[in-house]
Amino acid sequence: MRVLPVVPAFEAARSVGDVVSGLKAAWPVDAPIIVVDDGSRDDTSAQAERAGAVVLRHARNLGKGAALLTGFRRALELGVDAVVSVDADGQHPPAEAARLATWDAPREALVLGIRDLAVAGAPKANQTSNAISNFFLSTFARRRLADTQCGLRRYPLPQTLDLDVGGRGYSFEAEALLRAARAGWRIDEVPIRVVYPPEDQRVTHFKAVRDPARIVVRVLATLATTRSRT
């Protein structure tokens, strides 16, 4: 099975180069690292290219989901079976991303990285928003889901594109998970290690109140248009 990493990035010039270099060193086979620069105004693209990534650019900021879809489509053009999504802020250790790439699950499975946010020292707001998202997604998916907001995942191709996910921001990940669960996909949950830098060094575009609310709205819209096969 051929698996490539896809890194959605927005104004991540400080970290994206190290992320790409780490992935190149940790990946089990020689493979291109796809970075999607989602309309950054800083040197994200230049830093990613300098580190050796294949860089795709959006002329303006379209959202994390849109960046993931752009990366997935390019990966499919390259003939891969699955992609591992990796955040550009350095939160996901490259070795953990490589472990998901080689996880012993069928090609068609969705493989989720599962964090222990308390142990990792995540901000309380993140822990709360994740708990809310977990509750709603678990209820509507009719199965317990331990971490519905982690960006480190292995998505099968072309099956993920065929889910026809409508969300283009942070809600993409929740909607894709819900659609996969209701379609009866195999979903593996893999405990992973994450890194949260000190608060004064942390860069995030996720808003702990606004974005979970948008995720819930997107989940409710998805429920209205999908039928469970489980």
Output DSSP code: residue 200.
Answer: G
How far apart are the C-alpha atoms of 10 and 184, rounded to whole Å?
A: 33
Asked whether residue 176 is assigned to any structural domain, the reply reads: yes
- Residue 220: the pLDDT is 62
pLDDT at residue 205 above 80? Answer: no
- pLDDT, tens digit (0-9, with 9 covering 90-100), for 88-135: 999 999 999 999 999 999 999 999 999 999 988 888 888 888 898 899
Number of domain units in the chain: 1
pLDDT band (50, 70, 90) for residue 151: very high
Check whether the bond before 8 is cis (ω within 30° of 0): no
Q: Which residue has the higher pLDDT, 136 or 200?
A: 136
- Establish if 174 belongs to a structural domain: yes
Cα gap 3→155, rounded to integer Å = 9
pLDDT score of 207: 53
pLDDT at 125: 81
The pLDDT, as a whole number, for residue 170 is 84
Angle at CA of residue 211, ends 208 and 212, nearest 5°: 80
What confidence score (pLDDT) does residue 171 get? 87
Full residue range of the structural domain in which residue 69 is found: 3-223
- Give the CATH number, domain containing residue 131: 3.90.550.10
Residue 183's pLDDT is 93
Asked whether residue 228 is assigned to any structural domain, the reply reads no
Q: Please report the pLDDT score of residue 216 as a whole number.
A: 64
Q: What is the pLDDT of residue 223?
A: 62
Q: Is residue 230 part of a domain?
A: no
Structural domain contains residue 161: yes
